[in-house]
Structure 1
Amino acid sequence: ATYVEVKKASMPYLRYPEFLEKIEAINHPLIDDGIISFSRRVFHTIAEAEAKIHGESLDDIHFHEVGASDAVADVFGAAFAYFSLGLDKEKVYSLPVALGGGSTISSHGRIPIPAPATLEILKGAPIHGGPAKVELATPTGAALLVNMVDEFKNFLPPIRVVEIGYGAGKMDQEFPNILRIMKGERSLEEDKIVLFETNLDHLSGEVIGNLFDDLIGEGALDVTITPILMKKNRPGHLLRVISKPEDQENILRRIFKETGTLGIRIFPQVHRTILKREKIPFKVNIKGEWTVNFKVAFLDSEIISARIEYDDAKRISSKIGLPLREVMEIAEEQFKREMVNKIEGY
């Protein structure tokens, strides 16, 4: 494990605005704007927590211990590593945070562990006490964590580990005092979607068909309309719409306006597991040469499915007068024959 020792000069306690001025004055070829901006966010997280705990404004709050020069080294060093390792371009997960326990001495006297500011910063994150009766999570460490992490998990997500790093702490405990970071690859990706449902029993087929196009135009990822039998044996339709969270408001408004329904069931932030997908250009020969796109899905390096884009197949079908089904079958057979053995690492 790697251990870094910081030799510091004394630094007076500063109010938050003065502290930001010191940060902006840092000038070093290795410290770029991204590192400065990230470090500002970390210290802002700490300042907001301290201000709330002390009942003061951001302009009046003093940083005390976290304003010391070693905290500056902690934050800028971690920020440098974060960007150097390219973690800003990756999805970062964290397991629940171990807080320790007992009490510690601060500038305000003896306080419980976790420190109030630490607990405020970690609000909403999974935490647990122990495994030692000392402070294992500080406000600075907590602020770094919440600004780096995209999602907290109770267990490791399914990944294939490719790199592992260890950082050593100075405190001797009955367990290894290390921080472990794993870099992995996921064959199965995950995103978040919103699912809407409503029952319709008063719309004509023309209105329902138009609704389908309108919802796709509003950003819906998928729309299904299924015939159902409702109460009192009335025939109706079940409308189900999948969208990205950021399109939720527009989708809801469109459904209400176009259908007149009185209520919509919402299943927010549904996790959807998806295969890695790529759009790959390919030339097919069907009564002439055509350039089309294939949607290819992978599980690890294995191709699970490869389908020609519908619009490309329809274009060829209308041009040569061949049924759409046959165009798709011929194109997919040619793709399978010529590309499957070449596609790994494409």
Structure 2
Amino acid sequence: MTIIIDPQASGIAGNMLIGAFVDLGADADELKEIMEKSAFEFGKIEVTFEKVSKHGIDSTFCHVEMLEQKPCINYREFISKIENLDLNENVLETSIRIFRRIAEAESKVHGKTLDEVHFHEVGASDAVADVIGSVYAFYSLGYDLQKVIGLPIAVGGGRVKTAHGTIPVPAPAVVEILKDANMVGGPVDSELATPTGSAIYMELCDEIKEFIPQIKAKNVGYGAGRKDFDHPNVLRIIESSDITESDRIDVIETNLDHLTGEEIGYLFDTLLDIGASDVSITPIIMKKNRQGSLLKVISKRERREDIINAIFKETGSLGIRIAPHMHRGIAKREFETKTFDINGKDYDVTFKIGYVNGKVISKRPEYEDLKRIAKETGLALREVKELVR
């Protein structure tokens, strides 16, 4: 699938994302429990969901009511409390990255370091609920395995009152967070894109596009905003099928020019053991005509930090390049086991079968099965491969 987050009409906020995810099938009761429990360290909230009509558009409204707010704390203390929450590791890590986006934007706008930031938006219990609720719903729907495209964000206009006084819309922190995104002013004189919603959007989206790409829409969810305008105040999320399947990956690479062959081989095995999807090492010519090797690792996002730490530890590299949230087109894969009579004995061989658009493009026996048969029979590996072909 491809997931399209469409905030072109009425911007984006955390509760609008949650409402749209619930509209698409996320469990509202489960989200209510997670959100209220996660926010408890920062204040008391009550979460409710209801179906509403926004200018004729049937949508889900997630209402987060703040009942009690605890005093604001600094960023480091805030993150420490978040890290102690009883949440899935992926949900926790993604949520922390979102909070950091907001903190960095606030620190830059106000000329402070992260240690000095006491910003009200992230410290508020309702913002904690919005971030963790959005991320939890995102993972519960399996969207972390899909390509996520963000369309331009309507940011609104006019002025808004904040803890720092009256400021123009979009707020400076929103502009900072949405760097490299496509923003559209209006269509009303009101704040449409919140810092929290903007940070969630930037973290979850893999690509920012001007228009909807060629897709086949399958399901659509609408999350309602709190305000009423002369147009539907909703965020739209579209589930669509794509021409090819895709897989979200990170590509990690660094140059090596000082390791022995044995050390490179050990590094290769170590990276696969800790969860790298693929590892390749290519001979290269480096500056001053030195011979070296390019180490390239394909990794799922949840394994990225472990892999980076292993590369630093085993290579002593001073710099590692990371291309996050890339997509690779992948064929649909199935596994089929067949039994073969080889030298009077039955052996099971598993085949990996690849499909594109319903057509078989490859059907290959698994190497480990071929190796086992070769060792047991004394045949050459290529002979075993020919016999099962």
If the length of structure 1 is used for normalisation, what is the TM-score? Answer: 0.60
How has the CA–CA distance of structure 1 residues 66 and 92 changed in structure 2, closer, same or farther, with 3 Å as cutoff?
A: farther
Q: Which has the higher strand share?
A: 2
**Structure-2 residue corresponding to 1:297:** 354
Amino acid of the structure 1 residue aligned with 2:169: I
**Structure-2 residue corresponding to 1:285:** 340
**Structure-1 residue corresponding to 2:170:** 114
Q: Distance in 2 between matches of 1:321 and 1:65?
A: 65
Q: Distance in 2 between matches of 1:154 and 1:196?
A: 30
Q: Does the aligned pair in 2 maintain the 1:16–1:47 contact within 8 Å?
A: no
**Structure-1 residue corresponding to 2:266:** 214
Report the more deviating stretch, 51-60 or 270-279: 51-60
Q: Does the aligned pair in 2 maintain the 1:48–1:58 contact within 8 Å?
A: no
**Structure-1 residue corresponding to 2:220:** 164
**Structure-2 residue corresponding to 1:243:** 297
SS of the residue corresponding to residue 58 of structure 2 reads: coil
**Structure-1 residue corresponding to 2:181:** 126
Q: Distance in 1 between matches of 2:208 and 2:65?
A: 38
**Structure-2 residue corresponding to 1:187:** 245
SS of the residue corresponding to residue 100 of structure 1 reads: strand
**Structure-1 residue corresponding to 2:33:** none
Unaligned runs of 5+ in 1: 25-31, 258-262, 333-346
Q: Distance in 2 between matches of 1:154 and 1:15?
A: 40
Q: Distance in 2 between matches of 1:105 and 1:248?
A: 42
**1:26-175 equivalences in 2 (<5 Å):** 34=87, 48=103, 52=107, 61=118, 63=120, 82=138, 86-87=141-142, 90-91=145-146, 93-107=148-162, 108-120=164-176, 122=177, 126-132=181-187, 134=189, 135-146=191-202, 149=204, 151-154=206-209, 161-169=217-225, 170-172=227-229
How has the CA–CA distance of structure 1 residues 254 and 183 changed in structure 2, closer, same or farther, with 3 Å as cutoff?
A: same
Q: Distance in 2 between matches of 1:43 and 1:191?
A: 19
Q: Does the aligned pair in 2 maintain the 1:190–1:274 contact within 8 Å?
A: no
Q: Which of 306, 313, 320 does residue 370 from structure 2 map onto?
A: 313
How has the CA–CA distance of structure 1 residues 65 and 267 changed in structure 2, closer, same or farther, with 3 Å as cutoff?
A: closer
How has the CA–CA distance of structure 1 residues 316 and 162 changed in structure 2, closer, same or farther, with 3 Å as cutoff?
A: same
Q: Does the aligned pair in 2 maintain the 1:15–1:60 contact within 8 Å?
A: no
How has the CA–CA distance of structure 1 residues 177 and 153 changed in structure 2, closer, same or farther, with 3 Å as cutoff?
A: same
Q: Distance in 1 between matches of 2:198 and 2:339?
A: 55
Cα shift at 1:141: 2.5
Q: Does the aligned pair in 2 maintain the 1:191–1:274 contact within 8 Å?
A: no
Amino acid of the structure 1 residue aligned with 2:295: V
Q: Which structure has the higher relative contact order (CA within 8 Å, separation 6+)?
A: 2
Cα shift at 1:289: 1.3
Q: Does the aligned pair in 2 maintain the 1:66–1:140 contact within 8 Å?
A: no
Q: Does the aligned pair in 1 maintain the 2:138–2:144 contact within 8 Å?
A: no
* Residue 16 in structure 1 maps to residue 72 in structure 2: yes
Report the more deviating stretch, 316-325 or 43-52: 43-52
Q: Distance in 2 between matches of 1:255 and 1:60?
A: 36
Q: Distance in 1 between matches of 2:327 and 2:348?
A: 32
Q: Supply the RMSD in Å over aligned alpha carbons.
A: 5.3
Unaligned runs of 5+ in 2: 1-56, 272-277
Cα shift at 1:98: 1.7
Amino acid of the structure 2 residue aligned with 1:116: P
How has the CA–CA distance of structure 1 residues 56 and 212 changed in structure 2, closer, same or farther, with 3 Å as cutoff?
A: closer
Cα shift at 1:306: 2.0
Cα shift at 1:326: 3.2
Structure ID, larger Rg: 1
